[in-house]
Chain A
Amino acid sequence: MKPMLAALVLLASLGVPLLAVAADPLASPGWPIAQNRFLTGKTYVFDDRVQVIVPRDAEDSTAVPGFVRVQGIPDVQQIMVFAELNPIPMIVQFWPHRLEPNIGFRFKVQQATPVRAAALGADGIWYIGGAWVNAAGGGCSAPSIASADADWAERLGEVHSRIWNRGDEGRRLRLTVMHPMDTGLAAGIPKFYLEELVLVDDADKHLGRVEVHASVAENPTLTFDLRTGGSVRIQGADNNGNRMLGEVE
């Protein structure tokens, strides 16, 4: 204990943030790189209140379900979800604003990887939870199903959505956008993916925003927990400038 403490004091005196010396609970070889890439200059701590629900094994590496639930951290400003050993590590960046700090999504994996969620609290600290997904791989370099379907363009950008009133658990919005989500990693198929979704209420008030990355599975299917009533408008845009719109009551 004593030498450990001494080391911490030494690091602190050198200006290395204390929190950063916490060992990665997932013991991932990719953590130093992920930390560099996404958390440089940020204060962070591993915290179980950020729950990441993923399967142990990716039975289908082109569409692995994930759900991030943040409980007990007030006023979450932003949530980053990334799979650090993926060729496209970032999955979604979410600004919950007037939404609950929860998000459901499906993503591709190229190999076994931790999936992390980093939630930024009002105190400026990033709280990080995560879990490993074991995978045979290949999900990111596989062509989309749409890329082999001549009719995909007819359905591009269709938004299907539904709201549930779940009693004590509040209102929930689930949606799916028809989009191939091509990663650019399959030979001869350029990067083509949904980039952004904004949720707005019936009084034009901004509810929340999510940046979607090409690692999200084909036909992105997302889950949001609402805090407000009324209808919701969904505004989306992809990297080719296509716009999409949906509305749900």
Chain B
Amino acid sequence: MMPRLNALLGFYALLYGSFAAALDYQLQPREIAAGVYIFEGRQEHFTRHNGGNIVNTGFVITDAGVVVIDTGPSRLYGEQMRKAIATVTDQPPVQVFITHHHPDHFLGNQAFADVPICALPLTQKIIARDADALLDNMYRAAGAWMEGTEAVAPNCRAEAGKLTVGERRLSVLAVAGHSGDEASDLMVYDHRSGTLFAGDIVFHGRAATTPHANIQVWLQVLRDLERQQPQILVPGHGPTATDSRAIRETAAYLEWLDTTLREAAAAGLDMAEALELEIPERFKSLAVIDEEFERSVFHLFPAIDQEVLHGGAGNGTR
């Protein structure tokens, strides 16, 4: 009995020790263009291992301070991000942009409480309204990493258009499709380097998420983006892209998803049977594809199904 108990205690001590020591996101700013940096997250789901660090955040240094794009999944992330920014510049943060209301993009806001945190009006509204639900989900998924995290709604209203910060010109773009029907997704473009922070409008090497998606609106935004072809594109998740591949990959997956679920419903499939649909070979290399496809069936199928059963009553996404 005693040896077993000792072994058990030892195991817990080890677990606790490694856990306490591991609460470091190890954020390394990576310079992708002069004065433009990113923190690249992992291609995973939220877990107690990654603490929710599955997202890309970034910042742009100007001679009038640092502009931060998204603050990550937790207070701890925000704090460590701020420290990591200070390792490459003496400039203080002067403005934060939040791309949209999904929790991995804004729960680090507490670390930037002294700086204007700007988001589109709809994003401000949704964060203020759904703060508890958005938090609950992250606490459950990421555990101890979330300690002390509160949902801080952005306190500054972002307007689409150009702005000048120090010597740099930036553009704020208000688009939609990933997190809502209209003006729900914010992108930031740095003119000097030609870098677009695309938020979750673009996924790269990872299956897109669709909890509040309007696929048709989203696809139109992606078509426009492909024409404009920014020199450097920072997706919300996955590696930075210097060509249109990430844009086309996101669009191809969303098109397949929408068409497949519509065809399934039109053929009389039950929602649970849609879970069994085969994912084509060309999407199988996308990270977390099985999980995201299953989630997308939840997000998209009921509205499509209603249209089919109500004879095109028109409350779907098309």
Contacts and interface: CB of A to CB of B under 8 A. Distances in A.
A164 interface: yes
Nearest to B137: A136
Size band of the B side of the interface?
A: 20 to 34
A136 B268 contact: no
Interface in B230-266: none
A59 B309 contact: no
A235 interface: no
Nearest to A56: B294
A13 to B, nearest CB: 36
Interface in A178-221: 221
Nearest to A138: B136
Nearest to A59: B298
A55 B273 CA distance: 10
A67 B272 CA distance: 6
A53 B301 CA distance: 16
A221 B305 CA distance: 9
A161 interface: yes
A174 B264 CA distance: 13
Which of A65, A104, A175 gathers the greatest number of chain B CB atoms within 10 Å?
A65
A76 B136 CA distance: 43
Q: Which secondary structure dominates chain B's binding surface?
A: helix
Contacts of A104: 270-273
A57 B141 CA distance: 13
Nearest to A55: B294
B275 interface: yes
A65 B271 contact: yes
Chain A contact patch, size range: 20 to 34
Interface in B43-86: none
A59 B302 contact: no
Which of A56, A67, A161, A172 has the most C-beta atoms of chain B within 10 angstroms of its own C-beta?
A: A67
Main secondary structure of the interface of A (DSSP, over half): strand
B280 interface: no
Interface string A48-84: 0000011111011001011100000000000000000
A222 B66 CA distance: 55
Interface string A91-117: 000000000000010100000000000
Contact of B275 (A60, A65, A164): A65
A65 B306 contact: no
Contact of B309 (A53, A106, A136, A174): A174
Interface in A152-177: 160-162, 164, 166, 172, 174-176
B47 to A, nearest CB: 13
Nearest to B290: A56
A53 B140 contact: no
Interface in A29-64: 53-57, 59-60, 63
Contacts of B302: 63
Contact of B297 (A55, A67, A162): A55
B306 A176 contact: yes
A86 interface: no
A55 B298 contact: yes
A223 interface: yes
B299 A59 contact: yes
A57 B270 contact: no
B17 interface: no
Contacts of A66: 272
12 contacts: A53-B272, A53-B273, A57-B294, A59-B211, A59-B294, A65-B270, A65-B274, A65-B301, A67-B272, A104-B272, A162-B268, A172-B268
Given A65-B271, A65-B275, A66-B272, 11 more contacts: A53-B272, A55-B272, A56-B294, A59-B298, A63-B298, A65-B274, A104-B270, A160-B310, A160-B311, A162-B311, A223-B270
Instruction: List the 6 closest A-B pairs by CB distance, nearest first.
Output: A104-B270, A164-B268, A67-B272, A65-B271, A59-B298, A65-B272
